[in-house]
Amino acid sequence: MLKILKVKSREILDSRGNPTVETEIYTRSGVSRAGVPSGASKGVHEAVELRDGGKRYLGLGVTKAVKNVNTTIAKKIVGKSFDQEKIDRLMIKLDGTYNKEKLGANAILSVSMAFCKAYAREHSIPLYKHVANLFENKKLLLPIPAFNIINGGKHAGNQLDIQEYMLLPTGAKSFKEALQIGSEVYHELKKLLAKDYGRGATNVGDEGGFAPPMSCYEDPFDYIMDAVEELGYYKKIKLGIDAAATSFYRGNKYYLEGQEMQTNDLIETYIETANAYPIVSIEDPFVEDDFDAFAKLNKKIKGVQIVGDDLLCTNQQRIQKAIIMDSCNALLLKVNQIGTITEAMEAAKLAMKQNWNVMVSHRSGETDDSFIADLAVGLGNSQIKSGAPCRGERLAKYNQLLRIEEELGKKAKYGGKIKWQKK
């Protein structure tokens, strides 16, 4: 148990210049701080961020959420002792809504994350080891990074419908080598894009990936593979996408490159693309409530993990439905989708009991908080998605993983050997 001496919350800005919540928890061992991320492509079933509305910050201020931490939550926790589950359950009960709309998931999560850090600090153990203890996991694993190196959809201002094109260095022998591969491919890709499209094509999107003026969904794969082959890394990488298909779904139809498609058409497109390129991961391939379509693709495609993000929203009830319908074989874990560390871990545990893969994820609106790096290692069966090897808020996570790997020394194990389609 850990006694909380003081709580202080404030409004800060995230990587997109929008307000978010940062909270500090004071204990006898010092101060622990956590900043909450925010997404651009949000699932309708996510826990609710509390925003102020009005003119200030164009309605995106979070002073109400900050006040809820400094008053409502603080009154219930300051001067008292907790463990992680106890403090999270208290805040869930205090909010009293199914989606945390009263206090705000951003308010609750800031306290939950800060407390998790404070507990590790108080007991003089690294955060990733504390996470592993909470998760009852004895197998620490450095996650495979999924570098989002070309951006489209809501993450960029180009004509690409697919939101993320990712590079996964599965053949690396360590996280350090994986990061090196990611960085080298990123910079080689930059050269190729600048040569063919001009320097403007190397402008970056929200998550650090390039946003070239492309519209053909296959072109990014070709450029990435050209960069990979130029560097001789073909045997060390795989590819992945986040289709974020809800963004190109209108009137019960999908529109990819302006071409009208039914669900079965899109399924065949994904299968053909996965056969043409070394794709091992497809995230949100269909509109966010179509469990049936996910299940059809999961059944038909081979050697590819089908990742549920907007479909699942790190929500146990939705994960359970996906398990019953065999809609996915991988969970995208976003702590702010559910609002507490306890619930996020419960979601991961439910998925892993079904032999699913778990990909811990950032959001497009990030802070310099590196919490998810420790979370990924502590869960022990993880991949991590934190954008391109570019921009400080993205590299904060990757650099923390370098430190963890160095600290673990000979005990460090990299998760490159993974089954991409688990049944």
pLDDT band at 129 (very low <50, low <70, confident <90, very high): very high
Q: Give kind and range of the element (H or E) at residue 39.
A: none
What integer is the mean pLDDT of 55-72?
Answer: 97
Going by their DSSP bridges, the two strands 305-308 and 279-283 should be labelled as parallel
pLDDT band at 72 (very low <50, low <70, confident <90, very high): very high
Task: Match 């990299």 to its residue by tokens.
Answer: 414
pLDDT above 70 (res 421):
no
**pLDDT tens column, 50-63:** 999 999 999 999 99
Q: What is the pLDDT of residue 195?
A: 96
**3-state DSSP assignment of residue 372:** helix
What integer is the mean pLDDT of 20-43?
Answer: 90
Domain architecture of the chain: domains with CATH: 2-124 (3.30.390.10), 144-411 (3.20.20.120)
Q: What is the pLDDT of residue 364?
A: 82
> What span, in angstroms and rounded, lies between the C-alpha atoms of 78 and 16?
32
Q: What is the pLDDT of residue 200?
A: 87
Question: Which DSSP category does 177 fall into?
Answer: H
pLDDT above 90 (res 75):
yes
| Residues recognised as catalytic | 207, 334
pLDDT band at 152 (very low <50, low <70, confident <90, very high): confident
DSSP character string of 197-249 = H-GGGG-B-TTS-B--S---TTHHHHHHHHHHHHHT-GGG-EEEEE--GGGGE
**3-state DSSP assignment of residue 368:** coil
> What span, in angstroms and rounded, lies between the C-alpha atoms of 404 and 420?
25
pLDDT above 70 (res 333):
yes
**pLDDT tens column, 172-209:** 999 999 999 999 999 999 999 999 999 888 988 888 99
What integer is the mean pLDDT of 34-41?
Answer: 84
> What span, in angstroms and rounded, lies between the C-alpha atoms of 232 and 227?
9
Residue 61 and residue 18 in contact, taking contact as beta carbons nearer than 8 Å: no
Q: What's at 85, amino acid-wise?
A: E
pLDDT band at 420 (very low <50, low <70, confident <90, very high): low
> What span, in angstroms and rounded, lies between the C-alpha atoms of 49 and 250?
26
**Cβ-proximal residues to 6 (8 Å cutoff; 6+ apart), any chain:** 24, 25, 26, 78
pLDDT above 90 (res 44):
no
**pLDDT tens column, 226-256:** 999 999 999 999 999 999 999 999 999 999 9
Q: What is the pLDDT of residue 111?
A: 99
Q: What is the pLDDT of residue 77?
A: 98
